[in-house]
Amino acid sequence: MTDSEVVDICTQSIAEVGYIRLTPAQFAVITVEQANLINAMFGDAHMMQLPDHEVAFFEWLRTADPDVWNDLWSDPTPPYHVSLAFLGSFCGPNANGIFVICDLQSVDNYYFSTHTFIEKESDAYVQAVRDRFAEGLPLTTAQALTLEASVAPIDVWHFAYRYRLSVDVAKQAARALAEDRVVVHVPSAEHLSQLFDVQ
């Protein structure tokens, strides 16, 4: 898809619904460079709706953990509308990307990434988990969370949804990793943003 075609799609969406709404097929073919172009052109005045797979996740979250859903979406902004700065997180090879939860204000955050691993202390554990995965061996819930965080940023809610777990089970795994000094759990959004490059 050309830059001009992408701009036309976004312009038409804004004219029809007042924000940028893309189909899964469109997310899949828009490049990160084109996403940056769209953000530069429309980002100051318009928002985008999250991709359908993320809307489905947040609808699940509404009942799985209502306090978290309310923290994210209870303000006047229509649910699932986010800044165009996030568009690149869902385009091209990132078409199945997630809107990572890392800025909760009224409840604890459970965000994990390579930045939250405790250096040296976690290295052997993370490698052992990767080896088990490569060998096709079963993983515990905590090991699966470790593997996910070692690949890309994740929160316990997306992790629970992806693995069809209860939120409580996912949080227990996160707490166990923190107690075992594999990861640092930073519940405060303010501290997360100060300590890590959360996105």
User: Mean of the pLDDT values across residues 39-62?
Assistant: 94
Same domain, 121 and 47: no
Same domain, 185 and 145: yes
Domain extent at residue 52 = 3-94
Residue 61 has a pLDDT of 96
Q: Specify the number of domains making up the chain.
A: 2
By the 8 A CB rule, do 185 and 145 touch? no
Residue 60 CA to residue 101 CA, distance in Å, equals 14
Residue 144 has pLDDT above 70, yes or no: yes
Same domain, 12 and 65: yes
Task: Decide which of 94, 127, 160 is a domain's last residue.
Answer: 94
Establish if 162 belongs to a structural domain. yes
pLDDT confidence of 79, banded at 50, 70, 90?
confident
pLDDT confidence of 76, banded at 50, 70, 90?
low
Establish if 104 belongs to a structural domain. no
Q: What is the pLDDT of residues 108-141, one digit of tens each?
A: 999 999 999 998 889 999 999 999 999 999 999 9
Q: What is the pLDDT of residues 10-49, one digit of tens each?
A: 999 999 999 999 999 999 999 999 999 999 999 888 999 9
Helix (H, G, I), strand (E, B) or coil at 117: strand
